[in-house]
Amino acid sequence: MQFIDTHAHIYSKKYDSDRDEVIRRSVENGVTKIYMPNVDVESIDAMLEAEHRYPDICIPMMGLHPCDVKKGFEKELYVMEDWLNKRPFVAIGEIGTDLYWDKSLFEEQKEALKIQVNWAKEKELPIVLHCRESIDETIEIIGGLNDEKLTGIFHCFTGSVEQAKRITEMGFLLGIGGVSTFKNGGLDKVLPEIGLDNLVLETDGPYLAPVPHRGKRNSPEYIPLIAQRVGDLTENTLEKVSEITNLNANKVFNRSEL
């Protein structure tokens, strides 16, 4: 059985001591692809090095994370746009908004998001969205920019049934990760109402490890635990979860292979 991790920071320094082993165990657990969201200019080299070392597994995106949007963020966007013009990337991400850590730069976050969404439209790439404590705001922004060229993933979805339906009606997928295994994560009420056709799997490693690893470093090798939980909540077999979420991931990233 094969799985795709649509969102993991496998290039993070938290894997520097054992990245080869993590990749090996992930592959042994059936993980065939690990999509890597960029976060800032400093993370680009490490991300591309991971792609170089594991070219059949680790696949890079390009984007500026909202928590890394500072005053003068335009300079970082110039560098990223240059990269996008030099070589292919599968998505614009990780982009979006965040009202959990710092609310003072929300206007800058929105401006950076809009610029990067326009890149996605121009290059016909999907977007991968971060929206911590800002899901309604992000839905509103994307709704105002949405057209037939725009698609992507609301990463680390933890919202309500209503929010999930608004997102899927816009043509976006929900990225489901370790929170689905948490006792009070809330997704036990959402996933039965949404169905597999609107979902992709992710870890967000090294963050948000699923039960029974909660509180420890997350890893792409734990994708089967998330898949099993999704299967339980949607009353589908693990095989069906693998099949449908892989199809969804390949479609959104415009890739035909598993």
Task: Say if pTM beats, i.e. exceeds, 0.75.
Answer: yes
Q: How many whole angstroms separate alpha carbon 192 and alpha carbon 215?
A: 26
The CB density around residue 154, as the number of other CB atoms within 10 Å, is: 27
Task: Identify residue 254 by its one-letter amino acid code.
Answer: N
Residue 21 confidence (pLDDT): 98
Q: How many whole angstroms separate alpha carbon 16 and alpha carbon 9?
A: 12
Residue 255 confidence (pLDDT): 72
Task: Identify residue 108 by its one-letter amino acid code.
Answer: E
**Confidence band (pLDDT; 50, 70, 90) for 31?**
very high
Decide the pairing of beta strands 58-60 and 92-98: unpaired
* 8-state DSSP, 62: B
Residue 257 confidence (pLDDT): 47
Residue 258 confidence (pLDDT): 39
Does residue 193 register a pLDDT over 50?
A: yes
Contacts of 217-221 with CB under 8 Å at 24 or more apart are 217/14, 218/8, 218/178, 219/8, 219/22, 219/25, 219/26, 220/5, 220/8, 220/10, 220/22, 220/23, 220/26, 220/31, 220/34, 221/22, 221/25, 221/26, 221/28, 221/29, 221/31
Instruction: Tell the CATH topology of 3-252.
Output: TIM Barrel (3.20.20)
Q: What is the mean pLDDT of the chain?
A: 96
Does residue 256 register a pLDDT over 60?
A: no
